[in-house]
Amino acid sequence: MILQHFSWQGVLVVFLVFSIVWYAAVLLLFYRKDLSVFFNSKILVSGVPLQRSTITDKKVEVSPADMETAEDREAEILGKSRLPEGMSIISADLIRFSAQVAAASPG
């Protein structure tokens, strides 16, 4: 049989090489912008970066007016959502999992 010619050590080496190639490809595809910023930043002798400008540090603020318009657009496209038949919204203090037992008076 042809599989008898492969040793476990050879199989493990092939799996290790393929795993390294796979994770390197994933890192390059999904984190290439962050990696380019990381490798292009100037580093002092102490190891502290001189310039720290990463893509993830940028914050985008969305005004409440923009959020309302997005909700309105969604409501126009899909229509207003409603609860399924027989379901209602109640407050947490109305939820009971067992019958209340009256406190027994001693004696």
pLDDT tens-digit map of 8-62: 999 999 999 999 999 999 999 998 888 888 888 765 455 555 555 555 555 666 5
Residue 71 has pLDDT above 70, yes or no: no
Burial 27-40 (b: 16+ CB within 10 A, else e): eeeeeeeeeebeee
Query: 92 in a domain, yes or no?
Result: no
Query: 107 in a domain, yes or no?
Result: no
Q: What is the pLDDT of residue 12?
A: 95
Query: 60 in a domain, yes or no?
Result: yes
Query: 52 in a domain, yes or no?
Result: yes
Q: What's the number of domains the chain is made of?
A: 1
Q: What is the pLDDT of residue 99?
A: 72
Residue 105 has pLDDT above 90, yes or no: no
Q: Which of residues 89 and 99 earns the better pLDDT score? A: 89
Q: What is the pLDDT of residue 14?
A: 94
- Domain range holding 45? 2-80
Taking the whole predicted model, whether its pTM rises above 0.75 is answered as: no
Query: 51 in a domain, yes or no?
Result: yes
> Which of 58, 59, 60, 55 lies closest to 31, judged by CA?
55
Query: 100 in a domain, yes or no?
Result: no
Query: 41 in a domain, yes or no?
Result: yes
